[in-house]
């Protein structure tokens, strides 16, 4: 049985266990420490040393996969709803863990925890209408020859392997469940590998679901600690969905076994996302206020530790000073410190290693930019700057948009953004594309024709575009918020992957097969399947 939240907080040993092969297991002594980034105090340790990952994968494939594939889409949808209910009942505990281990404010934790619960509920709802189907289909049977009885149909058969989900440190809850929801719905068992530094929340959530007995044996596993030789044991039929750095993503793609067996891989990597202010927007306009507010929100929510956060603020050259001053004015009101204090609205980075990385990134950006806002006398509220992983919100301004190469190459994963001036709209689109492929970009303008033009111009290098005119200034969900109904991913350096996207996401966990046969045979297959695009 997994260590409970209460016992983990009180125990002298504080060990995170892994749930593999249908049982809780403890790695050998040692392992990595999980810390409170506000105080630097150790919270727990996680070790996977000595765990038999080959057997764990085999159990997931042979037991979990077989059980899940016996269920219909409708039955699996019911399971997702039950998981959401269990997680919702532990919401207060998840928020407390997020505060202690990730340095989250309540607003930060809500994006992660409530976002995960909401995603599960969404897929439970939309998949309920798939009913008794167990297969996917793409369109209707089609005639293939002069004989109308000879037909073809594209069918999706659920993969018979295991989905290995390798998640990032910034969203231990949402990262776990947004991937698991689609995989479990597809009938493919999950082995989740959360980032060790914040694995506590993911492990406790999995523990709650396992204890509730919702899923078939082997349908859900979790590995806490190093991945060790996990990738060595993957085979045809398995899939890997990874969120994290581009370098790690590339190492996964180049893994010998994955390349040789062409194991399916989805990568969501780092990204230099941009917010673009249209050339028509004046400093005294409503659209200008919406733009500035969104930049500040993206800089400070989760201390800027979001793969979708705004890193580059593209503005007309004649507006650069006004934009910098307006953003700085709002940043001065941000209270950074211990998230236990309700007055605090930005907490620390995840650990001291990340703090040092961000501080070094700021120094590199300074080579081609200058500070537009940076508090020299920074002191976090109710916290010790020497012990906590605190970095103040930092705004820089590039001297020249065309010459600031490093701004378009280096992502500083923290509360940092750079104002980049542009000459005209063509130059603005060019600068946005210099990110080399991004997860998201936002464009703010009063001119809907310009917004549509920007959408087309930026479409090839971005996975998602938020086009904001004043009519949706207060109603849109935000630049950095990923919605389960829309695709999440991006081209180029963003990884080239796709996650979520409603029922479209099911195809990643299915093999698309071109079936050829008689009308009666294909009608039988069609009866067992559903077309998610038509639902």
* Three-state SS sequence of 177-238: HHHHHHHHHHCCCEEEECCHHHHHHHHHHHHHHHHHCCCCCCCEEECCCCCCCHHHHCCECE
Q: Which of 268, 294, 411, 499 is catalytic?
A: 268
* pTM (predicted TM-score): 0.93
Q: What is the pLDDT along the chain (535 residues), one digit of tens a residue?
A: 344 433 344 445 579 999 999 999 999 887 899 999 999 999 999 999 999 999 999 999 999 999 999 999 999 999 999 999 999 999 999 999 999 999 999 999 999 999 999 999 999 999 999 999 999 999 899 999 999 999 999 999 999 999 999 999 999 999 999 999 999 999 999 999 999 999 999 999 999 999 999 999 999 999 999 999 999 999 999 999 999 988 899 999 999 999 999 999 999 998 999 999 999 999 999 999 999 999 999 999 999 999 999 999 999 999 999 999 999 999 999 999 999 999 999 999 999 999 999 999 999 999 999 999 999 889 999 999 999 999 999 999 998 877 788 999 999 999 999 999 999 999 999 999 999 999 999 999 999 999 999 999 999 999 999 999 999 999 999 999 999 999 999 999 999 999 999 999 999 999 999 999 999 999 999 999 999 987 6
Q: For residues 77 and 72, what is the distance between their CA atoms, to the nearest angstrom?
A: 9
The CATH number of the domain holding residue 308 is 3.40.309.10
When divided into structural domains, the chain yields a total of 2
78 and 172 co-located in one domain: yes
| Sign of the CA dihedral with 471 first, then 475, 477, and 478 last | positive
CB 452 within 8 A of CB 443: no
- The yes-or-no answer on residue 307 being catalytic is yes
pLDDT at 192: 98
Domain that holds residue 157: 53-269+498-534
Tell me: do 233 and 300 sit in the same domain: no
Within a domain: residue 346? yes
The reply to whether 334 and 446 lie within a common domain is yes
Is 268 known to be catalytic? yes
Return the residue matching tokens 């087309």. Answer: 456
Where do the DSSP E strands lie in 338-390? Answer: 369-373
Q: What is the pLDDT of residue 237?
A: 95
Q: Are residues 218 and 329 in the same domain?
A: no
User: Six-digit token pair at 420?
Assistant: 């980049």
Measured distance CA(508)–CA(272) in Å, rounded: 25
- Flag whether 16 is in a domain: no
Beta-sheet strand order (sheet of 438-444):
369-373, 394-398, 416-422, 310-316, 273-277, 438-444, 462-468
Residue 333 lies in a domain: yes
pLDDT computed for residue 2 by the predictor? 43
Confidence (pLDDT) at 535: 65
d(Cα 238, Cα 230) in Å, to the nearest integer? 12
Give the containing element (helix H, strand E) for 75.
helix 73-89
In a domain, 295, yes or no: yes
In a domain, 48, yes or no: no
Q: CA 382, CA 340: separation in Å to the nearest integer?
A: 9
Hey, how many other C-beta atoms are within 10 angstroms of the C-beta on 456? 10
Residues 525 and 475 in one domain: no
Same domain, yes or no, for 295 and 430? yes
231 & 289 share domain: no
Q: Are residues 513 and 482 in the same domain?
A: no
Q: What angle do CA 307, 463, 186 make, to 5 degrees?
A: 85
CATH assignment of the domain containing 231: 3.40.605.10
Task: Answer yes or no: is 259 within a domain.
Answer: yes
Are 289 and 200 in the same domain?
no
Same domain? For 234 and 118 the reply is: yes
Same domain? For 441 and 427 the reply is yes
Angle between helices 174-186 and 73-89 (to 10 degrees): 160
Judge whether 465 lies within some domain: yes
Place of tokens 């006004």: 322
One domain, residues 206 and 287: no
Whether residue 150 lies inside any domain: the answer is yes
Could you say which of 178, 204, 294, 307 is catalytic? 307
């Amino acid at each position: 049985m997994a260590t409970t939240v209460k016992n983990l907080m009180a125990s002298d040993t504080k060990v995170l266990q892994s749930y593999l092969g249908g049982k809780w297991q403890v790695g050998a002594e040692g392992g990595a420490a999980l810390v409170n980034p506000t105080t630097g105090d150790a919270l727990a340790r996680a070790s996977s040393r000595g765990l038999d990952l080959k057997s764990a994968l085999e159990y997931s494939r042979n037991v979990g996969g077989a059980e899940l594939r016996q269920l219909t889409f409708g039955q699996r949808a019911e399971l997702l709803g039950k998981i959401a209910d269990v997680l919702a009942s532990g919401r207060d505990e998840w928020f407390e863990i997020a505060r202690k281990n990730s340095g989250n404010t309540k607003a930060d934790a809500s994006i992660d925890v409530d976002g995960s619960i909401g995603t599960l509920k969404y897929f439970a709802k939309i998949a309920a209408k798939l009913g008794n189907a167990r297969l996917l289909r793409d369109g209707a049977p089609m005639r293939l020859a002069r004989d109308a009885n000879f037909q073809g149909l594209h069918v999706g058969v659920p993969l018979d392997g295991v989905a290995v989900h390798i998640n990032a440190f910034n969203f231990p809850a949402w990262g776990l469940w947004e991937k698991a929801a689609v995989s479990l719905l597809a009938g493919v068992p999950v082995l989740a590998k959360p980032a060790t530094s914040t694995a506590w929340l993911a492990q406790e959530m999995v523990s709650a679901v396992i204890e509730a007995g919702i899923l078939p044996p082997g349908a859900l596993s979790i590995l806490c600690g190093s991945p060790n030789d996990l990738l060595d044991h993957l085979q045809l039929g398995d899939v890997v969905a990874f969120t994290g750095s581009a370098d790690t993503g590339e190492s996964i793609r180049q893994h010998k076994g994955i390349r040789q067996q062409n194991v399916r891989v989805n990568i969501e990597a780092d990204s230099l996302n941009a917010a673009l202010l249209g050339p028509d927007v004046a400093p005294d306009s409503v659209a200008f206020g919406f733009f500035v507010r969104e930049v500040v929100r993206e800089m400070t929510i989760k201390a800027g530790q979001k793969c979708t956060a705004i890193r580059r603020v593209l503005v007309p050259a004649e507006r650069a000073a006004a934009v910098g001053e307006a953003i700085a004015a709002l940043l001065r009101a941000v209270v950074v410190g211990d998230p236990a204090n309700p007055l605090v609205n930005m907490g620390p980075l995840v650990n001291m290693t990340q703090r040092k990385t961000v501080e070094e990134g700021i120094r590199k950006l300074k080579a081609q930019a200058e500070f537009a806002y940076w508090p020299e006398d920074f002191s976090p509220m109710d916290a010790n700057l020497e012990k906590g992983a605190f970095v103040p919100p930092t705004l820089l301004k590039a001297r020249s948009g065309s010459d600031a190469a490093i701004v378009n190459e280096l992502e500083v994963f923290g509360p940092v953004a750079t104002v980049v001036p542009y000459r005209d709209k063509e130059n603005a689109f060019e600068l946005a594309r210099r990110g080399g492929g991004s997860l998201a970009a936002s464009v703010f303008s009063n001119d809907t024709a310009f917004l549509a033009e920007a959408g087309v111009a930026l479409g090839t290098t971005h996975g998602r575009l938020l086009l904001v005119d004043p009519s949706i200034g207060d109603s849109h969900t935000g630049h950095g918020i990923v919605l389960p109904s829309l695709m999440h991913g991006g081209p180029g350096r963003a990884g080239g992957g796709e996650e979520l996207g409603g029922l479209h996401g099911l195809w990643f966990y299915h093999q698309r097969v071109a079936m050829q046969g008689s009308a009666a045979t294909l009608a039988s297959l069609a009866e067992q399947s559903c077309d998610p695009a038509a639902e």
